[in-house]
Amino acid sequence: MFLYAAWIEKKKDNVSVVWVITRLLTAVIFNQKNLPDRIEDLDETLTHHCTREKRLQWVKRINTVVKPRFVRRIIENRLNKDSPIHEKVILSFDEELSYSKTYEKDFPFRQQWSNWYGNHASEPLKIFVPGSGSHSKFEAISEQWGNYDYKGLEEVKEIISYAEAEGRKIRAIGSGHALTPIAQSEDFIVCTHNLNLTQRKAEQFIKPEFLNGFDVDVNFRNVKSKEKHFLFETSGGTKVHQLITALEKDGLALMNKGGSSIQAISGAIATSTHGSGIGLGPLPGMVKSMTLVGKGSKAYRVEPTNGITDPELFLADPEVQKHDIQLIQDDDTFNAVMVGVGSMGLVFSLIVEVQKSYKLYEERVIWEWETLKAKMLEGDLYIFINSNRNFEVLINPYIDETEENPSRKCLLTTRDYAESCEVPPIAKRERNYLSSFVSGISISGRLSPWVFNRNSQNIPRMTNNSLARLEDHAKKGGGFEDVSYKVLDQGLGELKFYGYAIEFGFEIEKAFEAVDVITKVCEEAKAYGHYLAAPFSLRYVKHCPGYFSMMNKSDMCMIEVVSVKGVTGTISLMKRIEAELLEIGAVPHWGLSLLPWSKEMVERAFPHYEDWKRHQAIFGGETFTNPFIKNILD
């Protein structure tokens, strides 16, 4: 009888989901006025009548239904009625935006490259694919992870020698994540996705005091303590999600990460990618040793003055001698190459500081921005921000004037070690159900700009609704608990490939002025129908000694302004925001910027510009430049 009742309940849940999705699709195609109500119904159904496994099954079913071209054409024809040509929906197959583009080692035809947004592209003379690893079969070759890829190292050296003999320049590419032309090259491109063979605990040549873990001072939640950290060696072309997989096999985890895991680890480090948490630095701050190949095909292992490598062990090794790898242990040199923006040579391998695998508990609470701002400023700002291990704020650029008591809304996200929190029994193992469901649907990214373009005047209200859906804490929803990388990841799925952003750093006290600038520019643009289609974020990051890190000056508040590809007016609006933020002293992000860069701008933003430039001439030289880099050097 019990099994029969369970079977009946399961059938009822399936019928409920079918009915709600049918009504939603009907609203999308025939009656958009009912769309908000249908979305509410879907959110409620996914929350109370659908398990994680069932949601994934429904994503697959919907993707199967909308895959045939004729189905997409039916949806297109209905949605594009009365739309201007530049806002028409084109539901072509989305494979090109849903995976990291790879290149074959000996591809016989001419090739093209572009960043994932598509605003920068090139047709290089040749794309090289060195390395003994495998992007597509990464886990299948896990038995080889303990080996160092000396064969790949020699391949890289040969490529550089060939380029210099031909008088060509080189840029290395990972995931093409940057919005700037930082990786663009019309000469030679080195695709690094097979430079991912080495994934191992760092033991070879390591000083005894670092071999089995070492104590580090931390300050989370305003409590100073010590944690035991470890060293892990990874190849430079490894994607962040691949590194997470390799670490997990050894019971280890990254100390922090950005919101996405698709980047190559060396690309993320080269642009000072970061997460949130004033007690946690950006990714380059986790690097303890970097092996790179620079101009003249010279290989270097670069570390701080008191580095982790035992010089005697290293220099006595036959392989090191055979491949002529020079050990440099010097703070000035290390700080210069740490954030090399692809111009110090090709980063071949890294040793990074990691910690034992851990869980995080996340809470997201809706605030009125002015109330939260006053709370942050009433005492010591640093202490308030450091009350949690991770602290970040999402702010609606607009005030929804249709509210009874209009005010600017924001969402405060905090995360702490789960073991240090009273995690309620109802805490979920997945973030917002609706966003995780929609982000898996293949056509969702193409449909998003249509929704915003057709209802641009409602964006202030839609943004508030989005923040409300994300609210999830101990007293409402239970919060979100899981292993660290799942909590730190944005979980945007397919939608990640349809968003873009600009980002800037400010000293933490000055960030409030920057918020006022952003909201002012957004308010002015409303009169012309130009809107940002997403909230912007404040993330607080610890100082980093890397000369070209955005956090080099001090602890910083990184402000990321986000929108959706295809929403009319947002590119122009974001350029105006960028210009005004630079006027008040913003430090631009190497990969997230729309305006042209200049030497003068970089000199103002990065105090150690001359030191970095001096080392670039030594390690990368002309070989590792492109027009973007030349523009900031000359």
Residue spans of the domains in the chain: they are 2-95, 125-357+600-634, 359-595
CB atoms within 10 A of CB 478: 17
pLDDT tens for each residue of 157-187: 999 999 999 999 999 998 888 889 999 999 9
Question: CA-CA distance, 188 to 190, in Å (whole number)?
Answer: 7
Question: CA-CA distance, 150 to 562, in Å (whole number)?
Answer: 41
Question: CA-CA distance, 235 to 149, in Å (whole number)?
Answer: 8
pTM reported for the whole predicted model: 0.90
pLDDT tens for each residue of 486-544: 999 875 555 555 778 999 999 999 999 999 999 999 999 999 999 999 999 999 999 99
The predicted structure's pLDDT at residue 440: 57
Question: CA-CA distance, 211 to 628, in Å (whole number)?
Answer: 41
- Is there a contact between 485 and 415 (Cβ–Cβ < 8 Å)? no
Residue 547 to residues 282, 331, 333, 574: CA-CA distances in angstroms? 13, 11, 10, 27
- Is there a contact between 367 and 410 (Cβ–Cβ < 8 Å)? yes
| Upper half-sphere CA count for residue 262 (Cβ side, 13 Å) | 19
- According to DSSP, residue 239 is labeled B
Q: CATH: 3.40.50.2020, 3.30.565.10, 3.40.462.10, 1.10.10.10. Which one for 359-595?
A: 3.40.462.10
Q: Which CATH class is domain 125-357+600-634?
A: alpha beta
The predicted structure's pLDDT at residue 6: 41
In this structure, what is the dihedral angle of CA atoms 215, 219, 223, 225, given to the nearest 10 degrees? 0
Q: Which residues of the chain have pLDDT under 70?
A: 1-19, 21, 24-25, 27-53, 55-56, 92-100, 429-445, 491-497
CB atoms within 10 A of CB 10: 12
